[in-house]
């Protein structure tokens, strides 16, 4: 099953998870390695987590719904 970006069930989680990452990154002044997770289905979602301060990202639902190619697409976009 492939979900369109508009119907992703973890979309509400994505924004809140990013807010928490940003908060923790700011309060810890970047001293904690934060794993960003929650609603990553697109390259832009991964970039959002990293921009908020995540050192790593973890993908669960996106891996299931978008397939393992998502990991390749994200990695390729990050090394460009």
Ligand X SMILES: Cc1cc2nc3c(=O)[nH]c(=O)nc-3n(C[C@H](O)[C@H](O)[C@H](O)COP(=O)(O)O)c2cc1C
Q: Which stretch binds ligand X (CB under 6 A): 21-29, 35-43, 49-57, 70-78?
A: 35-43
Q: Hey, what are 59's tokens?
A: 């993908």
Q: 45 with 74: CB under 8 angstroms?
A: no
Orientation of helix 43-52 relative to helix 11-27, angle to 10°: 20
Name the residue nearer to ligand X (CB basis): 7 or 29: 7
Task: Find the binder of ligand X among 39, 42, 53, 54 (CB under 6 A).
Answer: 39
| 61 token code pair | 């639902």
Q: How far is the CB of 59 from ligand X (least distance, A)?
A: 5
* Residues in contact with ligand X by the rule CB under 6 A: 10, 13, 37-40, 58-62
């Amino acid at each position: 099953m492939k979900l369109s970006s508009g119907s992703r069930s973890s979309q509400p989680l994505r924004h809140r998870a990013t807010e928490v990452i940003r908060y923790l990154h700011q309060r810890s002044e970047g001293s904690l390695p934060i794993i960003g997770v929650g609603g990553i289905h697109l390259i832009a979602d991964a970039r959002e987590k990293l921009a908020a301060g995540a050192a790593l990202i973890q993908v669960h639902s996106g891996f299931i719904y978008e397939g393992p190619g998502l990991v390749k697409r994200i990695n390729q976009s990050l090394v460009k």
